[in-house]
């Protein structure tokens, strides 16, 4: 009777260890640790083999990836590897989606055309006022 209890206890401890290993591997792969603990608990070594060959789970959303990336950049900032400017730039890059707000190109009147500062239309150099809105060059 006591030897049966003893082997049962060993079995439980063993299952617990398998479960814990399974949970650790699963969490490293971005999977549910709680679920894999029980899979490991029940199936032991087999569950460890299965969870070990499973591919890493792809992050669910792009937003989450951005947040994680930003967190890494924050770490880099905190450890002084990158400057605050670099961090802020990266932050606005990651956080502004779909695209950063459009800014019109600078009105450089080079080449054969000039760009109207009023409406942004390209006019030939030969015309003195904008063909679109009539603004003087
Ligand atoms: Zn114009």
Q: How far, in Å, CA of 22 to CA of 16, rounded?
A: 10
Beta strand pairing status for 122-124 and 113-115? antiparallel
Segment 51-55 shows an average pLDDT of: 90
Are 113 and 85 in a shared domain? Answer: no
Segment 71-90 shows an average pLDDT of: 92
pLDDT at 59 over 70: no
Distance (angstroms) between ligand 1 centre and the Cα of 6 equals: 91
Distance (angstroms) between ligand 1 centre and the Cα of 136 equals: 8
Question: Which residue's structure tokens are 């969490």?
Answer: 27
DSSP 88-113: HHHHHHHHS-S-PPP-PPP----TTE
Are 108 and 135 in a shared domain? Answer: yes
Number of compact structural domains in the chain: 3
Segment 84-109 shows an average pLDDT of: 73
pLDDT category, 4, cuts 50, 70, 90?
Answer: confident
pLDDT at 84 over 90: yes
Distance (angstroms) between ligand 1 centre and the Cα of 111 equals: 18
Are 87 and 121 in a shared domain? Answer: no
- Summarised one tens digit per residue, pLDDT across range 17-31 is 999 999 999 999 988
Distance (angstroms) between ligand 1 centre and the Cα of 17 equals: 75
Distance (angstroms) between ligand 1 centre and the Cα of 99 equals: 26
Are 47 and 27 in a shared domain? Answer: yes
pTM for the whole thing? 0.41
Residues of the domain holding 19: 2-53
Percentages (nearest 5) of helix, strand, coil residues in the chain? 55, 5, 40
């Amino acid at each position: 009777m006591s030897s049966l209890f003893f082997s049962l206890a060993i079995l439980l401890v063993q299952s617990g260890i398998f479960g814990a290993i399974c949970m650790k591997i699963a969490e490293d792969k971005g999977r549910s640790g709680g679920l894999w603990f029980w899979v490991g608990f029940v199936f032991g070594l087999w569950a460890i083999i299965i969870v070990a060959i499973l591919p890493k789970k792809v992050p669910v959303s792009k937003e989450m990836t951005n947040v994680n990336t930003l967190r890494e950049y924050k770490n880099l900032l905190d450890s002084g590897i990158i400057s605050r400017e670099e961090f802020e730039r990266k932050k606005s890059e990651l956080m502004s989606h779909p695209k950063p707000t459009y800014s019109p190109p600078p009105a450089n009147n080079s080449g054969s055309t000039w760009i109207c500062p009023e409406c942004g239309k390209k006019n030939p150099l030969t015309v003195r006022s904008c063909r679109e809105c009539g603004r003087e060059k």
